[in-house]
Chains A and B, each alone.
Chain A
Amino acid sequence: MADPIHQFQIVNLIPIAHVGGSEIAFTNSAAFMVVIAGGLTAFLLGATSKRRLVPSRLQSAAELSYEFVASTIRGTAGTEGMRFFPFVFTIFMFVLAANMIGIIPYTFTVTSHIIVTAALAITVFLVVLIYGLWSHGFHFFNLFIPKGVPIYILPLIVAIEILSFMSRPISHSVRLFANMLAGHITLQVFAAFIILMSAHGILGWTGAVLPFAMIVILMALEALVAFLQAYVFAILTCIYLNDAIHPGH
């Protein structure tokens, strides 16, 4: 019952098809993805449907998210980065919603699965690579040649640059995945303490106040982490896109 891993279990809700050896199904993860996409769309379109000159609270929130992502892109990738605005906005809002929904007990955290964060990170990586090659051609590889480096250590530097470029999707995805996973396991462990202790009568009940207080504090911390990791994911996306837009450092 108190298995801290159980919350990450993928549950097939509606089996759909067998392709090769693997089954395609509508899972709990899929349900939350659909809820995220639907919820975000409903929020952003519903809040702005009246196009108020003086915004209501909801419209203000929608505008705030727009301006927040826009200013993040302008700050890291310049005005030219705004062509990726819908992409970065979608990533940020998707990850933020997934992280935030995940804090609610009994929900499933989409971003606590490495395959999801890796897919997002690889998408960003491919967008950077393809856009960089498409818009700058071979000059895109100037990215790996920092200016002002003495020629005799250049091969080493280039090798390191290429390695760091290739490892970007790994750090990009693992950071988000690990943060979500660790936070949720910690919460679950403290929750298990409450149940364990409260099974031992009145003394246990009093003692269970401690892990409960811990959970309250961790919830606040997790809310911060949920936002921060979504922001970090988005800002790293912007920084990588900036490389595709301005490869010449």
Chain B
Amino acid sequence: MAENNKTVATVEHTPSGEHASGFPPFNSQTFPSQLIWLALSFILLYVLMSKLALPRIGSILEEREKHIEGDIAAADRLKKQSDEAIAAYEKALADARANAQAIAAETRSKQLAESEAMRKKLEDQLSARLAEAEKTIAKTKEAAMSNVRGIAVDTAKAIVERLIGTSPADAAVAGAVTDALKR
């Protein structure tokens, strides 16, 4: 394997055989070829990297970053929108609740006032009728009382007539009854 037929640089250029078995990395005969090909391939690689590959990868990374930033911004915007919607909804809810309470309070006070008014009216009516009834009672009582006096005078006159046989004077009887009623 070592003795292949390819020309070994060291063998070709050093007539004395002992250098051929020297340490290859220190064989200066091979340096010019290595340097030239290193320069060529390195410069070629450098140009290809700096002009083609690296700008392309850089732009890909930049694009991705921009895309991600755009997405994050859009997400932020949407979140803000949803927050606003939630706030609006809550405000509407609070408004509606306040409205409902106001309506309830108004209705309650209206009904209270109405019932109060009705009660007053009824009370007034009742008290009027009561007063009227009391008046009627008083009148009736008075009439009854005056009737009682008449009956008493008549009865007294009749009793006296029976007892003594003569009818006493009306004035005397009336005076006596009045005196008796006063006692």
Contact = CB atoms under 8 A, between A and B. Distances in A.
A112 interface: yes
A94 B45 contact: yes
B67 to A, nearest CB: 6
A86 B50 contact: yes
Contacts of A26: 33, 37
B58 interface: yes
Contact of B49 (A27, A33, A55, A93): A93
Given A10-B24, A63-B57, A119 B44 contact: no
A66 B61 contact: yes
Nearest to B26: A114
| Residue of B12, B32, B33, B48 most packed against chain A (CB within 10 A) | B33
B9 A66 contact: no
Interface residues of A, number: 56
Interface in B40-76: 40-42, 44-46, 48-50, 52-54, 56-61, 63-64, 67
A8 to B, nearest CB: 4
Given A9-B8, A89-B54, A30 B61 contact: no
A1 B2 contact: yes
Contact of A27 (B9, B48, B59): B9
B23 A6 contact: no
A223 interface: no
Interface residues of B, number: 46
Nearest to B55: A86
Contacts of A45: 48, 52-53, 56
B46 A87 contact: yes
B24 A41 contact: no
A203 interface: no
A234 B67 CA distance: 32
A181 B25 contact: yes
Contact of A86 (B32, B35, B49): B49
Given A26-B37, A27-B30, A116-B38, A53 B64 contact: yes
A112 B25 contact: yes
A37 B50 CA distance: 13
Nearest to B1: A1
21 contacts: A1-B1, A5-B23, A8-B23, A9-B8, A11-B6, A11-B7, A12-B12, A15-B7, A22-B29, A24-B32, A24-B36, A27-B37, A41-B48, A41-B49, A44-B57, A89-B54, A90-B42, A112-B25, A113-B24, A115-B30, A123-B42
Interface of B: 1-2, 6-10, 12-13, 23-27, 29-42, 44-46, 48-50, 52-54, 56-61, 63-64, 67
Cβ-closest 5 pairs across A and B: A86-B50, A30-B37, A33-B41, A44-B53, A10-B30
